[in-house]
């Protein structure tokens, strides 16, 4: 399988990022808005409180994430990952608050305007019995009961949020780093052979100076060394 990260198209990318960021914020604020299936787009709305919808007319649920271009099996696309959280109206400040974190959602696009839903590539769990489901059995069936409990503590969607995800291809696997909100404030790491296949959660990591890991990013230099940058708060 051919996989190659390409660093081009930034001029086009920067022109529409303002609209994408605006829409990401709106995703959290208006999670239950509805719309019919849109026609093919040739632009991005850059207005405040304008939602961005996928190719099926559903609101894109990819908050705080990242857009990157990858080539897999000879096909080059833009991939957008972000946090997927269910919300309910709280009545406080007339806003919404997350009630369950589903995991990390993936969307793909050939033109940065029209986005196809690729599903949740790193799922959270509702109970330890979820390990019996085929999805989690395929990913974690080789682990001991003790290790499974550790994984569940990190992926429990009732108490943990997988936020600010960033992804890169390290030459062998796709790697996602994300912030763990709700636990010790550490960063989580997950890997997959394909950007569109389920990611396996590996571990969490913290910082020696203490505090929690906030915003983060990844960078792979031309010498193939990967750097992790973060805001420690």
Q: Based on the structure, what is the number of domains in the chain? A: 1
Mean pLDDT for the stretch of residues 160-173: 87
Mean pLDDT for the stretch of residues 171-187: 80
Read off the pLDDT band of 198 (50, 70, 90).
very high
* Domain CATH number, residue 42: 2.115.10.20
Contacts 24+ apart (CB under 8 A), 180-188: 180/154, 180/204, 180/213, 183/153, 183/154, 183/159, 184/212, 185/211, 185/212, 185/213, 186/212, 186/213, 187/213, 187/216, 187/228, 187/230, 188/154, 188/162
Mean pLDDT for the stretch of residues 25-42: 45
Q: Is residue 154 part of a domain?
A: no
pLDDT in tens, 47-84: 666 778 899 989 899 988 889 999 998 999 999 999 99
Is the model more confident about 40 or about 117?
117
Q: Is residue 46 part of a domain?
A: yes
Q: Is residue 37 part of a domain?
A: yes
Q: Is residue 149 part of a domain?
A: no
| pLDDT at residue 200 greater than cutoff 90 | yes
Q: Could you give the percent of the chain with pLDDT greater than 90?
A: 37
Q: Is the pTM of this model over 0.85?
A: no
Q: What is the mean pLDDT of the chain?
A: 75
């Amino acid at each position: 399988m051919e996989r190659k990260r390409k660093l081009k198209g930034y001029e086009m990318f920067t022109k529409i990022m303002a609209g994408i960021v605006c829409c990401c914020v709106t995703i959290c604020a208006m999670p239950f808005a509805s719309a019919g299936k849109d026609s093919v787009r040739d632009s991005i709305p850059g207005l405040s409180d304008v939602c961005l919808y996928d190719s099926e007319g559903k609101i894109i649920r990819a908050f705080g994430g990242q857009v990157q271009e990858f080539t897999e099996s000879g096909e080059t696309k833009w991939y957008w990952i972000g946090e997927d959280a269910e919300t309910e109206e709280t009545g406080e400040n007339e806003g919404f608050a997350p009630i369950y974190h589903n995991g990390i959602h993936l969307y793909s696009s050939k033109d940065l305007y029209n986005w196809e839903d690729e599903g949740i590539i790193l799922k959270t769990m509702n109970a330890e019995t979820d390990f019996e489901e085929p999805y989690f059995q395929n990913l974690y069936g080789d682990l001991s009961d003790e290790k499974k409990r550790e994984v569940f503590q990190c992926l429990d969607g009732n108490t943990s949020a997988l936020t600010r995800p960033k992804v890169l291809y390290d030459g062998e696997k796709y790697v996602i780093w994300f912030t763990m909100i709700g636990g010790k404030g550490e960063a989580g790491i997950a890997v997959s052979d394909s950007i569109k296949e389920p990611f396996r959660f590996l571990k969490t990591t913290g910082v020696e100076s203490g505090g929690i890991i906030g915003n983060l990013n990844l960078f792979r230099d031309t010498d193939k060394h990967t750097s992790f940058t973060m805001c420690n708060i």
